[in-house]
């Protein structure tokens, strides 16, 4: 089996020739393994894709994830901090070099949510000021489509990695998040927690936009020939919210992502990255239509023996 066949066979719940290796490699680890500067990665979206590919090859991985970074200009201040700058060289925020390479904006214009480029990469920018204030703002969230991703250079850069890879490893496309992680990015953690109690209509309205964006990202990846897709909600777990809130807010939107992308291409396979305790909703996660759940966090109470019950899905 090729690595791609091995990984795809396993995620289809069939028996590969051996257990596939799929280490969690992001650009921070990849930079160390390849000797590439993080500044080079931040300013070069093509480099961000390439270092993960190279790191996967160095590790002998059967699969790698791919993340599309925005193009950012940076400068290093006398204080040692790294700042993102605008086109004129004026600093607009501090980049957290130890926390996801996210730019913490000094001033956030709420009109950013109308920009397809911002919404395609929104998780690389954060603000203390919520970018979503009400339902009217939620309606203004832009949904990037395939042509937008082409315009941002995603297709050209991804094709270079696919050609270089030549079936050496399975390539996993990123959908980012449709649910709570997406919501927190636009509202902030504390506000988001109160919104679950006080503003359910707003929560669903924003997550509907997150769902639409995740689906468009999935269609882009599928059209590139990428059949395995990663959906993230590292916040939406029962270490943070209640099982009832999970079922009310997270379940319907993950279900929509899965149904839309399986309808678009029945051979697509979707796994969810989720942290913390998911045991109270494990059966519900299966019911969303996900093809795989990973990782299953031992710090959240998961034990491998549990897979014999709630995680097994009968073949259709």
Number of folded domains that form the chain: 2
Together in a domain, 64 and 169: yes
Residues 129, 254 share a domain: yes
Claim to verify: residue 137 and residue 267 sit in the same structural domain: yes
Does residue 198 share a domain with residue 188?
Answer: yes
C-alpha distances out from residue 16 to 24, 111, 247, Å: 20, 49, 33
> Are 227 and 273 members of one domain?
yes
Is 210 in the same domain as 125? yes
User: Do 136 and 35 share a structural domain?
Assistant: yes
Same-domain check for residues 103 and 247 = no
pLDDT in tens, 176-221: 999 999 999 999 999 999 999 999 999 999 999 999 999 999 999 9
pLDDT, tens only, 14-33: 999 999 999 999 999 999 99
Overall average pLDDT of the 286-304 stretch: 80
Question: Is 28 a member of any domain?
Answer: yes
Q: C-alpha angle with apex 64: 62 to 65, nearest 5 degrees?
A: 150
Assess whether pLDDT exceeds 80 at residue 306: no
CA contacts within 13 A on the Cβ side of 264:
21
Residue 315 lies in a domain: no
Q: Considering only 8-22, 238-252, 262-276, 288-302, which range has the smallest mean pLDDT?
A: 288-302
SS3 content of the chain, % helix, strand, coil (to 5): 50, 10, 40
Q: Within a domain: residue 316? A: no
The pLDDT of residue 244 is above 60: yes
pTM of the model: 0.94
Does residue 68 surpass a pLDDT of 70? yes
Q: Structural domain of residue 101, as residue ranges?
A: 70-107
Task: Write out pLDDT tens, residues 84-119.
Answer: 999 999 999 999 998 889 999 999 888 899 999 999
Does pLDDT of 315 surpass 70? no
pLDDT, residue 295, reads: 63
For the chain, the average pLDDT equals 93
Report yes or no: 249 and 203 within 8 Å, Cβ to Cβ. yes
Residue 187 within a domain: yes
**Per residue in 264-300, is it b (16+ CB within 10 Å) or e — as a string?**
eeeebbbbbbbbbbbbebbebbeebbbbebeebbeeb
* 40 located within any domain: yes
- Report the alpha-carbon distance of residue 271 to residue 255 in Å, rounded: 12
């Amino acid at each position: 089996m090729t690595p791609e066949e091995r990984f795809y066979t396993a995620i289809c719940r069939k028996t590969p020739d051996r257990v596939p290796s799929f280490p969690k490699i992001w650009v921070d680890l990849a930079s160390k393994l390849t000797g590439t500067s993080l500044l080079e990665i931040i300013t070069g979206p093509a480099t961000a894709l390439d270092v993960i590919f190279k790191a996967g090859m160095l590790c002998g991985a059967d699969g790698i994830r791919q993340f599309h970074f925005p193009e950012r200009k940076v400068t290093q201040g006398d204080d040692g901090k790294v700042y993102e700058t605008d086109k004129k060289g004026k600093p607009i925020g501090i980049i957290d070099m130890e926390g996801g390479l996210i730019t913490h904006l000094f001033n956030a214009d709420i009109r950013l949510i109308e920009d397809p480029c911002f919404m395609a990469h929104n998780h690389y920018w954060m603000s203390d000021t919520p970018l979503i204030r009400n339902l009217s703002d939620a309606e203004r969230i832009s949904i990037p489509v395939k042509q937008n991703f082409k315009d941002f250079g995603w297709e050209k850069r991804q094709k270079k990695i696919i050609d270089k890879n030549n079936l050496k490893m399975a390539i996993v496309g990123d959908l980012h998040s449709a649910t709570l992680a997406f919501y927190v990015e636009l509202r902030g953690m504390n506000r988001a927690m109160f919104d679950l109690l006080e503003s359910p209509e707003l929560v669903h309205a924003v997550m509907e936009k997150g769902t639409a964006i995740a689906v468009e990202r999935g269609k882009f990846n599928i059209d590139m020939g990428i059949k395995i897709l990663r959906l993230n909600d590292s916040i939406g777990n029962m270490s943070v919210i209640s099982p009832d809130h999970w079922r009310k807010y997270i379940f319907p939107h993950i279900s929509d992502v899965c149904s839309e992308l399986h309808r678009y291409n029945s051979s697509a396979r979707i796994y969810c990255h989720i942290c913390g305790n998911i045991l109270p909703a494990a059966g519900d996660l299966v019911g969303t239509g996900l093809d795989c759940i990973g990782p299953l966090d031992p710090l959240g109470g998961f034990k491998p023996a549990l897979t014999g019950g709630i995680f097994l899905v009968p073949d259709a």
